[in-house]
Amino acid sequence: MPATDTRDALLLRIAEALDRLSPPKAQTPDFDAADAFVWNAGETRLQPVPAVSRVDLVLLKGIDRVRDQLLDNTLRFARGRPANNALLWGARGMGKSSLVKAAHATVSATLVAEGKPPLKLVEIHREDIESLPVLMGLLRPAPYPFLLFCDDLSFDAEDTSYKSLKAVLDGGVEGRPANVLLYATSNRRHLLAREMIENERSTAINPGEAVEEKVSLSDRFGLWLGFHRCSQDEYLAMVKGYVDHLGLNADPEQLRREALEWSTTRGSRSGRVAWQFVQDLAGRLGE
């Protein structure tokens, strides 16, 4: 084989190897395929979600104030008016992620009724935060408003991916596209574990600046919505709301007694605990 042919074959093999090593090219999504998507960072594509797991907005009890705030913020954004990225933080099981999904459904239905493009929901997993710039590039030219949702967002020691999130929220050259709004839920108000902040304070040359760097991430969310543990009356109202929604036939006094016993054995009162109790009740009633 001539030397030229050998060299060309070698170059071709090298080029093919580099193609295999390079990340796949992002595919142009079909946004008409669904109203909700999950971002697959490994394949750089949006996976349609045929049916979103959600509860009706009216079933979310004990969070009226934050419900109204988030709904108003979402509706203003969907109608092209100024709105804030939102951080929903606080007690476990109090409906943070359920509220985001319910607000999306309500606002999207409102837009369709007004003859406007529906609001699309895109979920990004916490471990894929570093791929946000790629995702934003796909959403930016689309003719839809997008609600970008990250559930249970938090960062641990040695994790620097939060810097990608900061750049997208506020401060990057491109910044957040006008048709994208970010909602995140977390058990932590500042998204970082307390020991991380304390460690930064104790080891940094300038402790104040180090802590500001960490805490400033949550400051990029213009809307903070706190979810706190519910009272006994609020818990019982949640149980009753779920029972009525499912049409269960239960004695009110027995229902109250069993619901309180259930929450005692679980060691907490929340919307999640109320729903789990009602699921158990429905199973026992055979309904």
Which amino acid does the sequence have at 62? G
Distance CA 30, CA 147 (A): 16
- Spatial neighbors of 77 by CB under 8 A, at least 6 apart, are 83, 145, 147, 181
CB 246 within 8 A of CB 217: no
Report, as ranges of residue numbers, the positions in the chain whose pLDDT lies below 70. Answer: 1-5, 8, 15-27, 156-164, 167, 170-175, 192-216, 287
Read off the DSSP letter of residue 192.
Answer: B
Task: Tell the residue number behind the tokens 């030397």, with chain if given.
Answer: 3
CA nearest neighbour of 85 among 141, 36, 38, 132 = 132
Give me the pLDDT at residue 133, please: 87
- Collapsing DSSP to helix, strand or coil, 223 comes out as strand
Q: In whole angstroms, give the CA distance from residue 156 to residue 197.
A: 10
Rounded distance between C-alpha atoms, residue 169 and residue 162, angstroms? 11
Q: Which tokens sit at 223?
A: 């809307």
pLDDT tens for residues 2-53?
556 677 677 777 766 666 665 555 567 889 999 999 999 988 899 999 999 9
| Stated length of the chain | 287
CA gap 204, 222 in Å, rounded: 28
User: Which strands, in side-by-side order, build the sheet including 86-90?
Assistant: 45-48, 36-40, 120-123, 146-150, 180-186, 86-90, 223-227
Two tokens, residue 33: 């395929």
Q: How far does CA 268 lie from the centroid of its chain?
A: 24
Using CA atoms, how far residue 260 sits from 41, 226, 246, 276, in Å, is 43, 25, 19, 13
115 Cβ contact list (under 8 Å, min separation 6)? none
pLDDT digits (tens, 9 = 90+) for 44-86: 899 999 999 998 898 888 899 999 999 999 999 999 999 999 9
- Predicted pLDDT of residue 62: 84
| Token pair recorded at residue 20 | 């295999």
Query: Do 94 and 230 touch, CB atoms closer than 8 A?
Result: yes
Residue 59's pLDDT is: 87
Contact (Cβ atoms closer than 8 angstroms) between residue 109 and residue 137: no
